[in-house]
Amino acid sequence: MEKYLECSKEVAVAIEKGLPLVALESTIISHGMPYPENVETALNCERIIRENGAVPATIAILNGRLKVGLSNEEIDFLGKEGVKIQKTSRRDIAYNVMRKINGATTVSATMFIAALAGIKVFATGGIGGVHRGAENTMDISADLEELAMTDVAVISAGAKSILDLGLTLEYLETKGVPVIGYKTEVLPAFYSETSDFKVNFRIDTPEDIARLIKTKYDLGLKGGILIANPVPGKDSMDKTLIDNAIQEAITEMNELGIKGKETTPYLLSKIASITKGRSLASNIALVYNNCKLGAEISVQLTKISS
């Protein structure tokens, strides 16, 4: 595996010494936000994780290598290149490595590479899921299947609100993936701290979440855990306002014939435009909030596992 996997010195030392680690994706850098906000957000994510006692491990594919832990220069490169960097899910990993194609990792690809490196905790913005109208298009994110297979706990602000949240929960239930609400019984809807759907279990402390993670894997129960961490109240958007913006964006997307992996970047960009940047500010706030919780969980998991 050394032929393909390359950890930064900081991450390699953390793995060797058994220090708490938190994985971070890179699609949010190249496809999720405009430059320079994307780079500023990525560097702030790493700072927040360090301030809360863990080591950040931003993941990407660069020059055919699975990189776990990026330099500031590599993060800036991903941010400046933006959508020129290939959005990379699990399906694309082997091809990109073979062809030495630079790839920004989605949730599914980040989970896979994090697991290869032995990292158990991953903080992101929102996971992909079952898209609206999937009963006709079968458009279901690979993130859900990865959660079913890969032993990584994912902290997110629920599922992206552009999705069908009810069907996303049903899919996760079928795959045996527990959905944990951090201090909430309701699945947060990315920009909004509330939705019409309930999580499986509510847990109110990082310590208890860490205990659940350890118990799950001690029992040999394969697959991930989804930890739903609501966007902070002051940064949460009115549900009606964001729902209207989403519907407007989806209508325009369908008229333009945009499909597949291009749908999420288009919708997020369009919603930011419709809301005059409020959704982008909310997006950044929820990512920071997830990084803080991810670090706290990883610290506790390290304590009870050592």
Catalogue the E-assigned strands of the chain.
5-7, 21-24, 55-62, 65-68, 86-88, 103-105, 121-123, 153-156, 179-182, 201-203, 225-228
205-254 confidence digits (pLDDT tens): 999 999 999 999 999 999 999 999 999 989 888 878 888 888 898 888 88
Give yes or no for a contact between 156 and 122, defined as CB atoms under 8 angstroms apart: no
Q: Are strands 86-88 and 103-105 parallel, antiparallel or unpaired?
A: parallel
Q: Could you say which DSSP state residue 88 is in?
A: E
What is the CA 273 to chain-centroid distance, rounded? 22
Cβ neighbourhood burial of 42 (10 Å; 0-12, 13-18, 19+): buried
How many whole angstroms separate alpha carbon 46 and alpha carbon 288? 9
Q: The pTM is what?
A: 0.92
Low-confidence ranges of the chain (pLDDT < 50): none
pLDDT for 181: 98
Give yes or no for a contact between 103 and 61, defined as CB atoms under 8 angstroms apart: yes
Question: What is the number of residues in the chain?
Answer: 306
* Catalytic annotation, pick one of 87, 160, 270, 292: 160
160 in active site: yes
Give the closest residue to 119 by CA, choosing from 305, 292, 298.
Answer: 298
Number of domains the chain is built from: 1
58-98 confidence digits (pLDDT tens): 999 999 999 999 999 999 999 999 999 999 999 999 999 99
Distances in whole angstroms, Cα of residue 129 to Cα of each of 138, 204, 257: 11, 25, 20
Report the DSSP beta bridge partners of residue 220: none
**What CATH number has the domain bearing residue 157?**
3.40.1790.10
Domain around 186: 5-305
